[in-house]
Amino acid sequence: MTNAAGLTGLDDAAIAALAAASVERLHVDAASPYLLIAEHAGNVVPAPWHDLGLAAPYLDTHFAVDIGIDALTRRLSRTLRAPAVIAHYSRLFLDYNRPADEWDFMRPDLGGIPVPGNLAPDAADAGLRKAIGWAPLEQAIVEAAAGRRALVSVHSFTPVMAGVRRNVDIGVLWREQSPFVTSVLKTLGAQGAEAGLRIGDNEPYDWRQAIGYTLNRHGLEQGRPCLYLEVRNDLLSDPETFERVGRTLEQAFATVAMSLWPKSAIAV
């Protein structure tokens, strides 16, 4: 069991500062119909947790962060003039997109490599993580989602998983059909093909078969259309393909907004 004695020295001011550093909101007052959410954009582990006992290079891997998503979400927020909520802390510290009772809410291993700080966190440790890594993000999303017509959670995925190559470049993941989902699939499918990008319909993951706390909680349960957007992470590591992906996504989502919610949409 992780001994949280080293964390008990955190006073209220220190905890508040760590909570404030966990999340960033962009374009709060923008009129866009969209809210963009990037739960896995950051790879920071708050200093009192000492990188969870991991060597620093592990925090630059897909286990710790969705590579390229911070930059992509900022670009889409800027171009679409859409509010965005960006998490700074690593999903290894606490994975907001998982229910608290899931094994990878605080993942104990990286494909067999132990995460020492996550092997058995005690109640005090877990409570602090929720206070500084979960609660501020929850509040930011609740506030930012008010009045929005659709939520888009932005993620990246690895080109190969368990020895199998993924045959899509951008995935649109949905659980419940809606005019928004249908329009995105049609529009992004067509514009993606023109850009030489393969668009997946519930690929490389099928949200109907997977867990997704963020959009279950803030999208479906609130009656808001929503989808997870997944981009192959090697495309986001190269400036040329990053530009092609960014341009394709912003054009597609602008087209969809102009079609469904023209009063609050902008052309790009």
Mean pLDDT of the region 4-13: 75
For residue 214, give the amino acid letter: T
Estimate the share of the chain in helix, then strand, then coil, as percent rounded to the nearest 5. 45, 20, 35
pTM (predicted TM-score): 0.95
Quick one: 86 exposed, middle or buried, by C-beta within 10 A (0-12, 13-18, 19+)?
A: buried
Secondary structure class of 201 (helix, strand, coil): strand
Q: What is the pLDDT of residues 87-98, one digit of tens each?
A: 999 999 999 999
Choose between 65 and 162: higher pLDDT.
65
Question: Quick one: pLDDT at residue 268?
Answer: 73
Helices assigned H by DSSP within the chain: 12-20, 69-80, 123-129, 135-145, 179-194, 213-218, 233-236, 239-260
Q: Are 171 and 229 in contact, with CB atoms under 8 Å apart?
A: yes
Residue 265 — pLDDT band, cuts 50, 70, 90? low
Residue 1's pLDDT is what? 42
Spatial separation of the C-alpha atoms in residues 241 and 175, rounded to whole Å:
28
Distance CA 183, CA 169 (A): 19
**pLDDT tens digits for range 14-64:** 999 999 999 999 999 999 999 999 999 999 999 999 999 999 999 999 999
